[in-house]
Amino acid sequence: MRFIGRGSLISEGRTPSYRECFGTIALGLTPIFLLLGIAAVAGSNTVTWNNQYVHGPSAIPVALLVVLFFSVVLGGVQKLGYLIYGLFRRKNAPAA
């Protein structure tokens, strides 16, 4: 993966792999869910598992499991969107 010029994978003519989609989603969601996990340690009703609120130190690992679940699902949706986008974009623009 190179970031020269516009720095976009799409401008290079390739779509990101599922691994890259999963990684970017996971890195983006982790700070948010860690903050929610820390709030649940303090007693806030921010983390649920099996329709029950999780409090105390066990809230942080549960929040990280939720991050993994959301990252798997949203990474797949993002990859699917890139594949659909690749079907409809122009392949090669004529040289000016």
pTM: 0.74
Q: What is the pLDDT of residue 15?
A: 83
Tens place of pLDDT per residue across the chain (96 aa):
555 445 555 556 678 899 999 999 999 999 999 999 999 999 999 999 899 999 999 999 999 999 999 999 999 999 999 989 888 876 665 555
Burial call 24-59: b when 16+ CB within 10 Å, e when fewer: ebbeebeeebeebbeebbeeeebbeeeeeebeeeeb
Q: What is the pLDDT of residue 6?
A: 52
